[in-house]
Amino acid sequence: MSTKMKAAVLHAPRDVRVDDVDVPSISDPNDVLIKVEMSAICGTDLHPYEGRIEIEGGVVLGHEFLGTVVDAGEAVGLVEPGDRAVASCVVNCGHCWTCRRGDPGRCVGSRIFGLGIALGDLAGAQAEYVVVPNADLTLRKLPEEIRSSDEDLLFVGDIMTTGYEAVRRAIQPGDVVAIVGAGPVGLCAAMSAIALGASATIVVDKIASRLKEAERLGAIPINADEADPVDVVLELTGWRGANVVIDAVGHESALVSACNLLAAGGTLSVPGVYMEESVNIPFGDLWLKGVKIVTGVANIVNYMDEVIQLTEAGKLSPAGIISHRMGLSEAPEAYRMFEAHEATKIVLDPSR
Ligand SMILES: [Zn+2]
Ligand SMILES: [Zn+2]
C-alpha cells in the first residue's frame, strides 16, 4: 500500500484542492481503516466551504461514505479486513450519560468526520482512506450479497437516516405527513413516511425538479410558488391539517410554514439545522393545537440497522437522489456545482 493518497482538502473558503496526503493509520484498538469506495458531498459540507463555520486550513472533507475494511484494531469485534461497511457521519462516545440513555445525538463527545478541530478533529472521507474511531458503534457491516445497491446504502450514515428518524419518532400508522423542503433530507423523509405507513405524504418546495422526484417516490407535491400549501393541506385533510410536519429546511420561514400545516395534537419534527438563538414562530397557535415538538441532531447509530433492513427490503431507495457521479479528482468542480445548485447530490469515486 502506498503511503500517500488523494484527498479533497479545504484550504480556505471555496478553495478545495485534491492533494496528496499521508494515508492515515489506526492508533486506537477501537479504530478501523476503511478504503473508501464512495463518498458523497453533503449540504453540511457547504458550511465550511462557504465559510459559515470556520475551520482550520488543510482539513480533508467528507462524512458520508462506504468502503472496505483494510485494517482493524484489536478491540474491534464487528468487522475484519475484507468486510464492507458504512459509517455514521457522527462518531459518538457510547458511554456518556446521554449515550447510555439511548440518545447519542446529544453525546457530549460527538465528533464528525471532515469538519475540523472544533468538531472532533477527524479527517474526512472524500479521500482514498479514512480512519473510523469507535468502530463497533460507528460502523455497520454490509451484507455480503447486497439486494439493494451500494448507492442506496451509502446514505445510511447521514441523510437517509436523518430523514428516517425525523419521521420515525413522530409518526403513527395512518398519519398524514407533510414535509417542508424537498432537498435530500426532505426526500429521504418522504420515502420514510411512505415506508412507515403514512396515509398520505405531502411535500412542499418551490423547485420543480425536486417536486418531480417527490412525486416519483409516491408523495403529493405542492409548489409553494403556485398554491398556498396551507390551503392545499387543509383541503386534502378535511380541514384538519397534517398529523406530522417535518421542517427539512432549517430556516425560520420553513418553520413557520410547518407550524401552519399542523393538525391539532400533531407532531412538529425538526431535523433542519438551527444555529440562531431564537426564531419567530406562532407559539400561541402551537399551544392551542397542543402539538409535540421533536428536534435535534439525529440519533444516527440508533436507526442505521432499521434503515439498512428497509433499504435491503426495497422500501427505501435514496440512490434516485444522486444527480452526479464524479471522480475524487473533480472535487473542486463538484463543490462549485453543488454550491450553485447545479446538482442535487454528488457522489465522488476515490479511484478516479
Ligand atoms: Zn451530512
Ligand atoms: Zn456519548
Model confidence over 244-303: pLDDT tens digits?
999 999 999 999 999 999 999 999 999 988 888 899 999 999 999 999 999 999 999 999
Residues 174 and 57 in one domain: no
pLDDT of res. 1: 67
Cell of 119: 468538531
Q: Which ligand is nearest to the CA of 90?
A: 1
Neighbours of ion ligand 2 (CB under 5 A): 92-93, 96, 99, 107, 109
Residues 19 and 141 in one domain: yes
Examine residue 312 and state whether it is found in any structural domain, yes or no.
no
What spacing in Å lies between the alpha carbon of 78 and ligand 2's midpoint?
A: 19
Residues 182 and 263 in one domain: yes
Residues 291 and 202 in one domain: yes
pLDDT of res. 52: 86
Separation CA 141–CA 135 (nearest Å)? 10
Residues 132 and 243 in one domain: no
Separation CA 268–CA 293 (nearest Å)? 5
> Average pLDDT for consecutive 10-residue bins of the chain (352 residues)?
92 97 97 98 93 91 98 98 98 96 95 93 97 98 94 97 98 98 96 98 95 96 97 97 96 95 98 88 96 95 97 96 96 97 94 94
Domain range for 250? 161-295
Separation CA 233–CA 254 (nearest Å)? 15
Examine residue 310 and state whether it is found in any structural domain, yes or no.
no
Say if CB 41 and CB 31 are below 8 A apart: no
127: which strand partners?
7
Separation CA 343–CA 332 (nearest Å)? 14
pLDDT of res. 54: 86
What spacing in Å lies between the alpha carbon of 136 and ligand 2's midpoint?
A: 14
What spacing in Å lies between the alpha carbon of 133 and ligand 1's midpoint?
A: 18
What spacing in Å lies between the alpha carbon of 315 and ligand 1's midpoint?
A: 22
Beta strand ranges found along 226-343 (DSSP E): 242-247, 262-270, 292-295, 324-327
User: 278 burial class (0-12, 13-18, 19+ CB within 10 angstroms)?
Assistant: exposed
Cell of 266: 400533531
Separation CA 17–CA 11 (nearest Å)? 7
pLDDT of res. 329: 98
pTM: 0.95
Cell of 96: 456518556
Task: Return the amino acid letter for 57.
Answer: G
Residues 18 and 143 in one domain: yes
pLDDT of res. 241: 98
- The CATH number given to whatever domain includes residue 263 is 3.40.50.720
Q: How many domains does the chain have?
A: 2
Residues 165 and 253 in one domain: yes
Cell of 321: 437522489
Residues 226 and 256 in one domain: yes
Q: Which ligand is nearest to the CA of 124?
A: 1
What spacing in Å lies between the alpha carbon of 99 and ligand 2's midpoint?
A: 4
Residues 201 and 336 in one domain: no
Q: Which ligand is nearest to the CA of 39?
A: 1
Cell of 303: 436507526
How do residues 215-243 score in pLDDT, each as one tens digit?
999 999 999 999 999 999 999 999 999 99
